[in-house]
Amino acid sequence: MKNTAVLLITCPDRKGIVAGVGEFLYRHDANILHADQHQDAERGLFLMRVEWDLAGFSLDPSEFPRRFAPLADRFEMRWRLERSDHPLRVALFVSKYDHCLMDLLYRHQTGEIPCEIPLIVANHPDAERWAIFYKIPFHLIPVPAAAKAEAERAQLDLLAAHKIDLVVLARYMQVLSSEFVNKYPQRVINVHHSFLPAFVGAKPYHRAFERGVKLIGATSHYATADLDEGPIIEQDVIRISHRDGLEDLIEKGRDLEKMVLSRAVRWHIDHRILVYDRKTVVFD
Amino acid sequence: MKNTAVLLITCPDRKGIVAGVGEFLYRHDANILHADQHQDAERGLFLMRVEWDLAGFSLDPSEFPRRFAPLADRFEMRWRLERSDHPLRVALFVSKYDHCLMDLLYRHQTGEIPCEIPLIVANHPDAERWAIFYKIPFHLIPVPAAAKAEAERAQLDLLAAHKIDLVVLARYMQVLSSEFVNKYPQRVINVHHSFLPAFVGAKPYHRAFERGVKLIGATSHYATADLDEGPIIEQDVIRISHRDGLEDLIEKGRDLEKMVLSRAVRWHIDHRILVYDRKTVVFD
Amino acid sequence: MKNTAVLLITCPDRKGIVAGVGEFLYRHDANILHADQHQDAERGLFLMRVEWDLAGFSLDPSEFPRRFAPLADRFEMRWRLERSDHPLRVALFVSKYDHCLMDLLYRHQTGEIPCEIPLIVANHPDAERWAIFYKIPFHLIPVPAAAKAEAERAQLDLLAAHKIDLVVLARYMQVLSSEFVNKYPQRVINVHHSFLPAFVGAKPYHRAFERGVKLIGATSHYATADLDEGPIIEQDVIRISHRDGLEDLIEKGRDLEKMVLSRAVRWHIDHRILVYDRKTVVFD
Amino acid sequence: MKNTAVLLITCPDRKGIVAGVGEFLYRHDANILHADQHQDAERGLFLMRVEWDLAGFSLDPSEFPRRFAPLADRFEMRWRLERSDHPLRVALFVSKYDHCLMDLLYRHQTGEIPCEIPLIVANHPDAERWAIFYKIPFHLIPVPAAAKAEAERAQLDLLAAHKIDLVVLARYMQVLSSEFVNKYPQRVINVHHSFLPAFVGAKPYHRAFERGVKLIGATSHYATADLDEGPIIEQDVIRISHRDGLEDLIEKGRDLEKMVLSRAVRWHIDHRILVYDRKTVVFD
C-alpha cells in the first residue's frame, strides 16, 4: 500500500485552477496517482480531487496549509488534505438487525474498508457477539424514549473520547437529534431501506409491498436534521414480483442495504465524496 | 403461430380449483401450452392463467361460457377467455415526444407486439410522419384548456367507432378525466417518467436532478382517476452520476420509458396481467 | 412456518397431466400453496412443481409413493416428493477464501437458507473461526497433490456418515474427481468466478482484466465431471471500468460470488430446481 | 451548444504532465469544461481528455499543433485535437436486421448522436425505407461470396469519396477483410450479439440457448482483423429464464444490441474513447 495524500477542493469555477494546482504539486515533486474534477456549469462551481504518492513529495504535509494558502486564497477555495497514513476513525452504531454491521466488519477485516473502528455503539445487546468475534469494544447504551437526550450525551462523549471522524448508522433504528447530527456534519452516514425519495419514513418495505412496486431499493446518505432528506451517496434496486411476500422484500432488501451502505462508507473513507447543496459528487 | 386460447381466473382460494379447471380442459381435449397461478395467502385469493392450443380443442369457443359456467359458479370465479385469433385493437395516444410511439410501432411491425393498431390520436401534429411511414390513420385532436371535455368526447367517439380494446398513452402529455379513464378500466396504460411513487406529478426529471438521486426510473401503469396512483405494471431504472445534467437524465430516461411501456403493452396484449387492489400480477 | 410437501415431476408432455395431478391432490385434500409448470415444446417435455400444506392432507406421506404410482406410471413420470420437515443436510466445502462460507452461514442463521449444516470440510485451517462462531463441526482434510484420492475418500466417508444431501463448494479451490462428482449427481453446487462460458478454467478475473471486459460475472452451477460445464443455476454481473485494477475486480467479484452461490443453494433447498440436458428450470 | 475543443493525450506517466497541459491551456485562456485522466500504473501510462470552450480561447486551432509541439515532444505524447464544429462523418452499414440502424438514425435526429451521416451502405435492399424516411443517400452493394473483394473496393471508394471518419456496422452481417479493417483502425465499430468473450463467432443466441445461460449479453467493440477480438467499448446483459425460447432471446437481445451500439457510437463521436493494447478507456 502506497502512502498517499488526497487534496479535495471546492471553489468558484474560474480559469487557471487546474494549472495552478498542477503547477503547485509539480513544484513539490508530487507523483500524481489519480485526479478527477467536476464542473457544475449551472452553479459555476469547480470541484476537484487529486491523490498523489507521498514518497518523493518534497513538501512536509505539516507545511502544506501554509504553502497552499496563497493559491487557495486566490481561487477562494474550500479545501482539505487527507492522508492515507491517518486513517479515519469510525464508530459503528447498530440496533437489533446486524446484517450491515457484520458485512462492514468483514469488509474491514479483508482490507476493503481501510479505517480504524475503535468502538461499536448499540442500543440492543444482540450485536455484541460480532464485537467479540472481531475484538472491538462494544458499548451498550439503551435509548429509552424518556431518556434519549441522556443517551445521546453518553454517545457523544464516547465519540469525543475516541476522536471519531465518522459515524456509520448500520441499521441503527433510533432517530438522532438535530444537535447530534449537526455536531457531525457530513460525517454521519445512514442507510434507508427504500429508494429515496420514495417511501420516506417508517416501514418502507411494508409500503412498497402495499403499493405493488416492481423494484425495491435502498439508499445511503449523509444524515441531516431532516430525516431521510440528506445528500444521497448511493442507491441500488432489485427486482421483485407478485410472488414476493413482505418477508421476501425484507430479505432481498438486506442485500441491497449491505451494498449501498458499504459502498458509501468506503467512498467516504477514500475521500471520494464532496457535498454541495443537497447533492454528492462521488469521484471514481 | 399457433391459434391459442387464454383463460384468466380470479377467485377465492379453495381446494379443488386446479383439479376442476384441469379436468374441464382435459375433458375437452385442450393441449395446455402454459399454465401459471398465484395464491395471495393474505387475501385468500387465487389467480390463474392457462393457455392452450385451439387445434384439437373439442369445444367451440362460442360454447365455452355456457359449459364453463357451472365450474365458474362453484368457485365464484371472475374469469375471461381471450383468443389469439382475436387480437386486441389498440389506440396509441401521443403528444410531441415521439420516442415511445416510434418504438411501439417498430415492435408492432416486427411482430413483438401482436395486435391491431387502427389509429393514432395526437394533440400535436409532429407525430404524423410515423403514421404515414407505418400507414396508420392519424387523428389530430388539439386539446385546448378551454375545450378539454369536447376533445375527450371526440377521442371517445373514435375509440368506440374503432372498437378499441386498449389505449396506450405513449407520452401523451394531457391528463385524462376520470370519466374517460373509468370508461376503460385497466385498459389505459400510461408511462410515467419516474420510479413511482417517487416524483409523482409534473417534471419528475427536474426534481430527480435537484434531489441528487443516483438512479432514475420509469414506470408503466394502468391509468386511474388518481393520477400516477394506478396499478404498476413495470418499472426499471438506470444509473446516473453527478456528471449527468438534466439533459442527460431526459435522454437516459427516454430509453427507460420505451422499455417499461413496451413491456407493459406486450404483457397486456398477451393477457398476462391480472389486477387486484392496486397491484398487478404479471404471469411470465 | 407451514409444514409442506413439494412434488417435482418430469415427464413427456401429454394431455391430462395437470388434470390428473390436480385430481389426485384434491382427492387427498391437499391445500395447494404454489404450483408452477414448464413445457419445453421442442423436446416435448413437461416439468412441474407443486407445493401443498401437509396440514389437512389426508394421505400419509409414507403412503404417497404407492398411491401415486398408477398416475406416475401412466404418464411415465420421473418424480420425487420432498418435505419441509425433512430439511436437507448440507456440507460446506471451503479453502482459504471464506467470503462465501461466512455469507452462507449468516443466511443460514437468519433462516434464509433453511437446512441442516452438520459439517464444514476444509483443506486449509483459516475458516475454522467461522465453524467455532457458528458451532458447526470443522473437518480439516488437507489435499496434497500426491494424495488427492485419499483425501476424497476421507471426504466421502464424512458425507456418508453424516447423510449429506448436498455439497456446496464455497470457493473450494480443489477440482473434484469424476468419481466424487458422479456419486452426488446434481447434488454438488459450485461457484465459478466468471460469467460462464466466458473464462472457463483458472484465473478468470485475470483474464477478464486482460481482455478489457466492461462487466464481470459469477456463475453457480451443478458440478459435473466436465469442469465448469455443468448446468447453470444462476449468474449475475457487475459493471467495471478502466479505473478498476485486478484487485478491484476480485473485490467486486466477491459480492457477485456470494449472491449467485447463496441463491443457488436456497433454490436447491427449496426444491425449485429441475435439471434436463445441461439446463436448469428454476421455478419461482 | 457550445463550440468546444477536445484534446486527447496518451504518453508515458511522468511528473509534470498535468501542470504542463494546465499551464498551456491557461496561457491561451482556455475555459476548461471537462477534464479527466487515467493512469495505468502497471504499464506506466498516462491518458487524458480535456475539453474547453473555444469562445475566448486565444489560440487559433490551426496554430495549435505548432504551439503544442514542444510540450508534446517533452512528454512523448501521442495526441490529437478534435473540434465540435468539425463533427465526425459516419457511414452506417446494414444488412437485413434494421433495429440498430433505425435506433441510430432516431438518436441522430434527436441530437443524441451529433455527427453527419452522409450515407448508408447495405448489402440488402430492405433498409432503404429508413434512408428515404431520414433523407440519407442509400447505397446498395450486394456482397456475393465470389465477389467480396470487389464489393469492399466499392465500399472503400464510397468511404473515401465521402471523407468518412467512422464506420458503424449496425448488424452488418458480412465479415470485413483485414485490408478493410486496417484502413480504418479504431474507426470501425461493430456490435456482437453476445457477452464477449462468451460465444465468439456465429449464432451466439443459439449457443446461449443451448448452454442454458441465465443472462444474455451484447458487446460493441472496435473491429480488428481478428473477428470478435477487438477492444471492447461497451457491454450489457439482460436476464432470461427457462421460459424464454430462442425467439425470446433474439428479441430481448435486440434491445441490448441497440443500447450497446448506440452508446459506443456516441462515446466515439464525443471523443471519449482511448485505446491501448486491447482495451478501451472510456472517459465519462
The whole-number pLDDT of residue D61 equals 85
Task: List, in sequence order, every residue forming a beta bridge with A12; answer none if it has no partner.
Answer: A45
The catalytically annotated residue of D98, D103, D228, D270 is: D228
Spatial separation of the C-alpha atoms in residues B278 and B70, rounded to whole Å: 29
CB B38 within 8 A of CB A242: yes
Q: Does A18 touch chain D (CB under 8 A)?
A: yes
Residue B221 three-state SS: strand
State the CB neighbour count (10 A cutoff) for residue A20: 21
The whole-number pLDDT of residue C61 equals 85
Q: Does A235 touch chain B (CB under 8 A)?
A: yes
Residues A165-209: tens digit of each pLDDT: 999 999 999 999 999 999 999 999 999 999 999 999 999 999 999
CB A219 within 8 A of CB A194: yes
C278 φψ region: left (φ > 0), alpha (ψ -120 to 50), beta (else): alpha
Spatial separation of the C-alpha atoms in residues D209 and A83, rounded to whole Å: 51
The phi and psi torsions of C21 (rounded to 5 degrees) equal -65, -45
With cut-offs at 50, 70 and 90, classify the pLDDT of residue C39.
Answer: very high
Q: Is the pLDDT of residue A231 over 90?
A: yes
Domain boundary residue, one of A53, A68, A83:
A83
Share of chain C above pLDDT 90, in %: 95
Q: Is the pLDDT of residue A211 over 80?
A: yes
Q: Which domain range does residue D55 map to?
A: 4-83
The whole-number pLDDT of residue B227 equals 84
Spatial separation of the C-alpha atoms in residues A192 and D108, rounded to whole Å: 40
Q: Is the pLDDT of residue B1 over 80?
A: no
CB contact under 8 Å between D279 and C232, yes or no, is no
Indicate the average pLDDT of chain B: 96
Spatial separation of the C-alpha atoms in residues C218 and B188, rounded to whole Å: 41
Q: Does B263 touch chain A (CB under 8 A)?
A: no
With cut-offs at 50, 70 and 90, classify the pLDDT of residue D177.
Answer: very high
Are D50 and D76 part of one and the same domain? yes
With cut-offs at 50, 70 and 90, classify the pLDDT of residue D2.
Answer: confident
CB contact under 8 Å between C20 and B22, yes or no, is yes
Smallest CA-to-CA distance from C74 within C29, C21, C27, C38 is with: C21
Q: Is the pLDDT of residue B2 over 90?
A: no
Residues 136-195 of A with CB under 8 A from B: 195
Are B30 and B108 part of one and the same domain? no
Are D123 and D241 part of one and the same domain? yes
The whole-number pLDDT of residue C204 equals 95
With cut-offs at 50, 70 and 90, classify the pLDDT of residue B277.
Answer: confident
State the nearest Cα–Cα gap between D41 and chain A, in angstroms. 8
ipTM of the complex: 0.95
Q: Name every residue whose Cβ is closer than 8 Å to that of residue C170 and which is 6 or more positions away in sequence.
A: C92, C93, C94, C98, C100, C101, C104, C191, C261
The whole-number pLDDT of residue A77 equals 98
The whole-number pLDDT of residue C41 equals 86
Spatial separation of the C-alpha atoms in residues A13 and A68, rounded to whole Å: 18
The whole-number pLDDT of residue A272 equals 98
Domain boundary residue, one of A30, A53, A83:
A83
The phi and psi torsions of A62 (rounded to 5 degrees) equal -70, -20
Q: Which residues of A225-238 are buried (b: 16+ CB within 10 A; e: fewer)?
A: eeebebbbbbbbbb
Residues C122-175: tens digit of each pLDDT: 999 999 999 999 999 999 999 998 999 999 999 999 999 999 999 999 999 999
What would the grid cell of residue B59 be? 369445444
The whole-number pLDDT of residue C66 equals 97
The whole-number pLDDT of residue B128 equals 97
CB contact under 8 Å between B39 and C33, yes or no, is yes
With cut-offs at 50, 70 and 90, classify the pLDDT of residue A112.
Answer: very high
User: Which residue matches cell numbers 483425501?
Assistant: C151
Q: What is the CATH number for B14?
A: 3.30.70.260
Are C51 and C110 part of one and the same domain? no
The whole-number pLDDT of residue B182 equals 95
Q: Is the peptide bond before D197 cis (omega within 30 degrees of 0)?
A: yes
With cut-offs at 50, 70 and 90, classify the pLDDT of residue C182.
Answer: very high
Domain boundary residue, one of A49, A66, A83:
A83
The catalytically annotated residue of C228, C244, C248, C284 is: C228
Give the residue-averaged pLDDT of A13-22: 95
Q: Does A281 touch chain B (CB under 8 A)?
A: yes
Q: Work out whether strand B116-122 and strand B138-140 pair parallel, antiparallel, or are unpaired.
A: parallel
What radius of gyration, in Å, describes the C-alpha atoms of chain D?
21
CB A85 within 8 A of CB A3: yes
Q: Is the pLDDT of residue B18 over 90?
A: yes
Which chain A residues are within 8 Å of D21, Cβ to Cβ? 22
Q: Does B201 touch chain C (CB under 8 A)?
A: no
Are D170 and D75 part of one and the same domain? no
Q: Does D23 touch chain A (CB under 8 A)?
A: yes
Q: Is C126 a catalytic residue?
A: no
Which chain A residues are within 8 Å of D32, Cβ to Cβ? 15, 18, 39
Which chain B residues are within 8 Å of C32, Cβ to Cβ? 15, 18, 39
Q: Name every residue whose Cβ is closer than 8 Å to that of residue D69 and which is 6 or more positions away in sequence.
A: none
Smallest CA-to-CA distance from C253 within C198, C211, C204 is with: C204
Nearest CA in chain C to B49: C36
Are C135 and C75 part of one and the same domain? no
Indicate the average pLDDT of chain A: 96
CB contact under 8 Å between B241 and A198, yes or no, is no
The phi and psi torsions of C128 (rounded to 5 degrees) equal -60, -30
The whole-number pLDDT of residue A57 equals 96
The whole-number pLDDT of residue C213 equals 97
Q: Is the pLDDT of residue B147 over 90?
A: yes
Q: Name every residue whose Cβ is closer than 8 Å to that of residue D89 and which is 6 or more positions away in sequence.
A: D115, D116, D117, D118, D162, D163, D164, D165, D166
Which chain B residues are within 8 Å of A197, Cβ to Cβ? 198-199, 211, 213
Q: Is the pLDDT of residue C277 over 90?
A: no
Spatial separation of the C-alpha atoms in residues C253 and C236, rounded to whole Å: 10
With cut-offs at 50, 70 and 90, classify the pLDDT of residue D156.
Answer: very high
Residues C42-100: tens digit of each pLDDT: 899 999 999 999 999 999 988 999 999 999 999 999 999 999 999 999 999 999 999 99
Nearest CA in chain B to A36: B243
Total domain count, chain C: 2
Are D257 and D144 part of one and the same domain? yes
Share of chain C above pLDDT 70, in %: 100
Report the residue count for chain D.
284
Spatial separation of the C-alpha atoms in residues C120 and C131, rounded to whole Å: 7
CB B68 within 8 A of CB B5: no
Indicate the average pLDDT of chain C: 96
Which chain A residues are within 8 Å of C112, Cβ to Cβ? 251
Are B143 and B72 part of one and the same domain? no
Nearest CA in chain A to B276: A212
Are D66 and D102 part of one and the same domain? no
Q: Name every residue whose Cβ is closer than 8 Å to that of residue B138 and which is 6 or more positions away in sequence.
A: B119, B120, B122, B127, B128, B131, B132
The whole-number pLDDT of residue D282 equals 98
Are D207 and D67 part of one and the same domain? no
Q: Name every residue whose Cβ is closer than 8 Å to that of residue A104 and which is 6 or more positions away in sequence.
A: A92, A113, A168, A170, A261, A262, A265
With cut-offs at 50, 70 and 90, classify the pLDDT of residue D41.
Answer: confident
Q: Which residues of B105-118 are buried (b: 16+ CB within 10 A; e: fewer)?
A: bbbbeeebbebbbb
The phi and psi torsions of C182 (rounded to 5 degrees) equal -70, -20
What would the grid cell of residue A224 be? 441531516
Give the residue-averaged pLDDT of D78-97: 97
CA dihedral C9, C11, C15, C17 (to 10 degrees): -20
The whole-number pLDDT of residue D85 equals 93
Q: Is the pLDDT of residue D1 over 90?
A: no
The phi and psi torsions of B225 (rounded to 5 degrees) equal -65, -30
Are D75 and D40 part of one and the same domain? yes
Q: Is the pLDDT of residue A1 over 80?
A: no
Q: Is the pLDDT of residue C1 over 80?
A: no
With cut-offs at 50, 70 and 90, classify the pLDDT of residue A81.
Answer: very high
Give the residue-averaged pLDDT of B136-156: 96
Spatial separation of the C-alpha atoms in residues B77 and B3, rounded to whole Å: 25
Q: Does B19 touch chain C (CB under 8 A)?
A: yes
Are D71 and D100 part of one and the same domain? no
Q: What is the CATH number for A166?
A: 3.40.50.170
Q: Does A234 touch chain B (CB under 8 A)?
A: yes
